[in-house]
Structure formats: C-alpha cells, structure tokens
Structure 1
Amino acid sequence: MRTGIQITRIGFFTLILCMFSIQAHAQLGPDEKVYYDNYQSILQIMEKGMEESIKTGDPSLDFLYEMIPHHQAAVSMSENVLKYSDNEQVNKIAATIIREQLEGIKKMEALKDKIKVSPEVNVQAEASYLKAYNNIYKTMIASMEDARPTGNIDKDFLEEMIPHHVGAIKWLEIS
C-alpha cells in the first residue's frame, strides 16, 4: 500500500515529466513544426487510403489495394525528411526508401491489374486475412500516431518509419 508521501512523490514526478514534455513540444523550431504537420497529413492520407481500399473477396488483391497507399506514404514521408535533414545517413535511407517503394508500387499496380481480371474470390480466406490485417493495421497506426516531435527531425523520421515498416513485414507474413 502506498503512503501519502509515495503518492505525493509520484504526482510530483509526473508533473515534472509533463512540464518537460510540454516545454519540449513548445520549443520546436519552425522546420520541425512544418515537418511534423506534413507527417500528420501524410499519415491521414495513408489511413484514408488503406481504410477505404476495395475489398474484393480475393485476399491477394485486397493486400495490393491496401499496400499501395502504404508504400505511397513511405515515399511521402521520405520526401518530407529530405526537405529538412542534413544527416547523410538518414538522407541515404530516405532516398533508398523512395527508390524501392516507387519500384514496389509499379510492380503492385501491374500485379493488381493482372489479378483484377480474374480474382480468386474466397470469402472465408478474405475474412481471415482481414481480421489479421486489421489487428496489424491498428497496432501500426497507434504507434505512428503516438510519434511526437522531439526536436530532432532525423530521430523523429526513424521513429515514425520503424512501425510503418514493421506493419508491412507483418502483412507479408499473413499474405
């Protein structure tokens, strides 16, 4: 059982942490504010694209419809960081993401067009896929929405991209 002193200490430390958190957010430079606002817009566009993707009855086709906006967001997020980062390693990662994701989008668009002609409809398989997909999606989005600016755009970008790519890997595992 906690004593009054322990509760007071916990409350005091919580207050201090909140004050530092608010102060750190308030001290963001103009570049970080614009970067973060862009990130939030990109995230909303990705969410809308993924949530409104067509459900076809074919899990493979559904996957393609969902992953294209996911890849487009990775491109936009990488373009966003390139505007503000001077870090050579981060810029190299961002450039690689752009190149590989654009190539992936081309391949997915071509495959989507091919599969659309004669989809393999399996309502049970789709239901199973969508259940797993939605769980992964919710986890990824929650992590990406929880990303807060730290005053270091390079760190922020990496922290944002990790759950983004972990989600994609998990979707590949269920596809």
Structure 2
Amino acid sequence: MKKYRFLIAFLVYAPRLQAQHPHHVTPEQTPKQVYLTMMDTMMVRMADAPVGNSPATIFLNQMILHHQGAIAMANYEIIHGKNGEMIQLAKSIRVEQKSEIEQMQLWLKQASANGTPIPLMFQPAMDQTMNVMMKTMPLTNALTDIDKAFAAVMKPHHQAAIDMAKVLLQYSGNGSVNAYARQLMANQQIDIDQMSDFLK
C-alpha cells in the first residue's frame, strides 16, 4: 500500500514537471530541466523502494535513494558548472552523501528481521515531505544559468531531506539512526544557507 500512496503523490505533481522537461536529458534542455529530469528519476525510484519493517528502515531505504539523486545532480554540476563555489559545494555533497549512503546500507544490513511497529501516520508524513519538495521546485523556464539552476533545485531537495529526518525523529526510537538524522539536518541546513546566499 505504501508504494501506491507514494506513487500517487508523485503522479499528482509529475505533470507539472513533465510540462517543463522530458524524461531524458537532451542537448536542448535548459540546466534546470536537466536537474528536474534527475529529480523525476529519483522520485520514481523512491516510489519503488523497499518498504522496510520499522520507521528507521523505511527512512534509510528512502534516504539512500534521495542521496543518490543529490549525487547525480552534484556530478552534473561538477562537470558542467561554471561557478567555483557551487562546484565545490557539489563536490562536498558528493563526498558526504556517498559516505552517508555506505553507513545507511550498513545499518540496513544490521537491522533486525523482526522490525518494530510502524505508526499509522509515519508513512503519510514521509510522503508529504516529497509532496512539499515537488511543490517548491523552481517554476521559471528562464532559469538557464547552470549554477543557479543547481542551487535552485538542490535547495528544496535538501529541505526535503531535513523534513524526512524530522518525521523520523517524531516516530523512531532507533538511537543511532536518530542521531544521524539530527546531524543530517544540521549539515544540510548549512548547505541550504549557502545556496540561498548564492541565489540572492
């Protein structure tokens, strides 16, 4: 049931994005459209993520894919970006989130097969973080500067990760994963502040 709810939530907002860009990167796409194409791919993968047997494992499965989406965008910025500050930020995001993915994968391997009860409102709250992210993506097709496009799309992506972490902390009793969620919130807020300053 969870996958269907998540996919339906994505499909509500997908047409708005699809009107701005196709599903595959083409030479005619603006930088913003390239990044949103990567976002589409991430959302489809998250809709098909393993369900998990606890709030912590659901969070980890979702956040791994969310991080992989950020890494894809960071890789594109590193190759094609022009602004040194944003390229360096992209490099930092790539290194940090690759390391975090490895840690999250380790936690999933170590997770108990028995799991813990999943509160009724946990998954809807997680789904809502993605709904908000899609609503707050930049709309203007005039955003052709590659570095500003990177920052404008990565900002709501980072905010969604923070919102996912907040949901986890509300419903999870897993000390290690909760501690990671708190650190994630702090780290990604720093990036958001930097991108906000860059976009001024």
TM-score norm. by structure 1 comes to 0.73
Letter in 1 for 2:146: I
Aligned partner of 1:106 in structure 2 is 102
Q: Alpha carbons of 1:151 and 1:133: their partners in 2 closer, same or farther (altered >3 Å)?
A: same
CA offset digits 1:117-141 (Å, max 9, x no partner): 4242314x1x321111111111112
Secondary structure at 1:150's aligned position in 2?
A: coil
CA offset digits 1:33-70 (Å, max 9, x no partner): 36445323311220011111122331110111111110
Judge conservation of contact 1:42–1:76 (CA < 8 Å) in 2.
yes
Judge conservation of contact 2:60–2:108 (CA < 8 Å) in 1.
yes
Aligned partner of 1:142 in structure 2 is 135
**C-alpha distance in structure 2 between counterparts of 1:92 and 1:166, whole Å:** 20
Aligned partner of 2:117 in structure 1 is 122
**Which of the residues 41, 50, 56 maps onto 2:52?**
56
Q: Alpha carbons of 1:120 and 1:162: their partners in 2 closer, same or farther (altered >3 Å)?
A: same
Spell out the pairing of 1:5-154 with structure 2 (5 A cutoff).
33=29, 35-115=31-111, 117-123=112-118, 125=119, 127-144=120-137, 146=139, 148-154=141-147
Judge conservation of contact 1:149–1:156 (CA < 8 Å) in 2.
no
Q: Alpha carbons of 1:162 and 1:78: their partners in 2 closer, same or farther (altered >3 Å)?
A: same
**Which of the residues 144, 152, 161 maps onto 1:159?**
152
- Pairwise CA distance, 1:145: 6.8
TM-score norm. by structure 2 comes to 0.65
Q: Alpha carbons of 1:51 and 1:63: their partners in 2 closer, same or farther (altered >3 Å)?
A: same
Judge conservation of contact 1:81–1:153 (CA < 8 Å) in 2.
yes
Gaps of 5+ in 1: 1-29
Secondary structure at 1:33's aligned position in 2?
A: coil
Q: Which has the higher contact order (CA 8 A, sep 6+)?
A: 1
Gaps of 5+ in 2: 1-25, 169-200
Which one has a bigger Cα radius of gyration? 1
Instruction: Indicate the RMSD between aligned Cα atoms, in angstroms.
Output: 2.1
**C-alpha distance in structure 1 between counterparts of 2:59 and 2:53, whole Å:** 11
Letter in 1 for 2:77: V
Query: What is the aligned residue count?
Result: 143
Letter in 1 for 2:145: N
